Amino acid sequence: MFVITMYVNDCPKNSVSCVARFLGRFSFQPFKENPLLGPSSLALEKMGALDVNKVVHRHEGWRLITCIWLHAGVFHLLANMLSLLVIGIRLEQEFGFVRIGLLYLISGFGGSLLSALFIQTLISVGASGALFGLLGAMLSELIINWTIYANKLAALLTLVIIIAINLAVGILPHVDNFAHIGGFLSGFLLGFVFLIRPQFGWLSQRYAPPGHFSTTIPKFKVYQCILWITSLIILIVGFTVGLVMLLRGVDLNDHCSWCHYLSCVPTSKWSCNSQNVSCLSDQQGDQLNLTCSNTGKSRMYTLAQATNSQITRLCVELCR
């Protein structure tokens, strides 16, 4: 998918300073535009990046799923694939391709949904939400199958530290931590639904000779059933309410004044403010010239009939 995206991007057609220009139309956008060695935001938008404006006003809800398969650059792709190998192989070996595949996909959808409710100016791509879903599922799998594990507390502490470090990285600018949080919460709840294991006693009873056990051992413990039912209800209600709010154009930042700090914490080294920027635009044919009013930087884009949302997004990138 990344190769196809780079083909669609065709950097030499829209920029004179492409990186690795010898790759032809597969060359990368300039570092100033995309430091991750990848395509432009316009190419990602064409390929199905999460664009809240199009989801809400053009009913392109499929972008909540397609954005999971897109990556902003080579570094982004490699980081996600390495994480998937480290986390996903162990889960898939234990629970199978179907269950982990569904968990991965639904977690990615949950991450996209929460991201869309909070970040509505920029596009979003990547499998980070789905990967955090796998981390969340590992945590809930440990909890729901607590009695079968040795060294429970050590395993729990290690997993919590890994999750905390990864979520902490999300407070850096230009990282969509809402997708991480949404994916993690979705995966955590899905783990209770998909990764429940039967009791050892039930398995022994199942394969024992008739009459070997004097009492019938239930397949699952009571607390496992309670967690399964509760998690399923929360998932269904949460996804339903979230989708309704999104399609109605709700911006959760209007209802939570501090939530934006979950995705970016401003410091003396960087700013998180990507909203209060403005640009002067001049459209001539298929050429769009933008000048950032904040910094004075200008850039020419090949884009016919640019929409307001596209101009806003390009302006935010130009003024960084």
- Tell me: the pLDDT tens digits for 285-302? 888 888 887 677 888 887
Establish how many alpha carbons lie within 13 A of residue 127's alpha carbon, considering only the half-sphere containing its beta carbon. Answer: 24
Q: Please provide the average confidence, as pLDDT, over all residues in the chain.
A: 85
- Tell me: the pLDDT tens digits for 80-112? 898 888 888 888 998 999 999 999 999 999 999
**What would the two tokens of residue 77 be?**
């792709």
Q: What is the Cα–Cα distance from 309 to 316, expressed in whole angstroms?
A: 11
For the chain, state the CA radius of gyration.
Answer: 23
Q: What is the Cα–Cα distance from 129 to 187, expressed in whole angstroms?
A: 9
The closest alpha carbon to 303, from 276, 285, 279, 281, belongs to 285
pLDDT at 266 over 90: no
Strand partners, 284: 287
Specify whether the backbone of 122 is left (phi greater than 0), alpha (psi in -120 to 50) or beta. beta
Q: For position 246, what pLDDT does the model report?
A: 94
Q: For position 205, what pLDDT does the model report?
A: 61
**What would the two tokens of residue 267 be?**
């410091």
Q: For position 285, what pLDDT does the model report?
A: 81
Residue 293 annotated to the active site: no
List 128, 140, 263, 274, catalytic entry = 128
Asked which of 16-20, 198-202, 278-282, 307-311 is least confident by mean pLDDT, the reply is 198-202
**What would the two tokens of residue 116 be?**
């869309």
Q: For position 183, what pLDDT does the model report?
A: 95
pLDDT at 156 over 80: yes
Q: What is the Cα–Cα distance from 55 to 63, expressed in whole angstroms?
A: 7
Q: What is the pTM of this model?
A: 0.81
Structure confidence at residue 64 as a pLDDT band (50, 70, 90): very high
Q: For position 229, what pLDDT does the model report?
A: 95
- Tell me: the pLDDT tens digits for 105-149? 999 999 999 999 998 888 889 899 999 999 999 999 988 888 777
Residue 286, SS3 per DSSP: coil
Q: Is 270 exposed, middle or buried (0-12, 13-18, 19+ CB in 10 A)?
A: exposed
pLDDT at 232 over 80: yes
Q: For position 109, what pLDDT does the model report?
A: 96
Asked which of 22-36, 109-123, 170-184, 281-295 is least confident by mean pLDDT, the reply is 281-295
From the centroid of its chain, how far is CA 214? 50
**Portion of the chain with pLDDT greater than 90, in percent:** 36
For residues 100 and 133, is the Cβ–Cβ distance under 8 A? no
Structure confidence at residue 273 as a pLDDT band (50, 70, 90): low
Q: For position 100, what pLDDT does the model report?
A: 94
**CA 45 to each of CA 93, 97, 133, 294, 307: distance values in angstroms, whole numbers, following the listed order:** 35, 30, 24, 25, 13
From the centroid of its chain, how far is CA 47? 16
**CA 75 to each of CA 36, 37, 79, 165: distance values in angstroms, whole numbers, following the listed order:** 5, 7, 6, 19
List 27, 107, 115, 180, catalytic entry = 180
Taking 3-state DSSP, the helix, strand and coil percentages for the chain, each rounded to the nearest 5, stand at 60, 5, 35
Those residues whose C-beta lies under 8 Å from the C-beta of residue 91, and which sit 6 or more positions away, are 100, 103, 134, 137, 138, 195
Query: Would the CA dihedral through 52, 57, 60, 61 be positive or negative?
Result: positive
Asked which of 64-68, 118-122, 158-162, 304-308 is least confident by mean pLDDT, the reply is 304-308
DSSP type of residue 266: -
Q: For position 235, what pLDDT does the model report?
A: 96
**What would the two tokens of residue 290 be?**
């933008």
Question: Which residue type does 214 have?
Answer: S
95 against 155, higher pLDDT: 95
Residue 17 annotated to the active site: no
pLDDT at 174 over 80: no
Q: What is the Cα–Cα distance from 211 to 2, expressed in whole angstroms?
A: 59
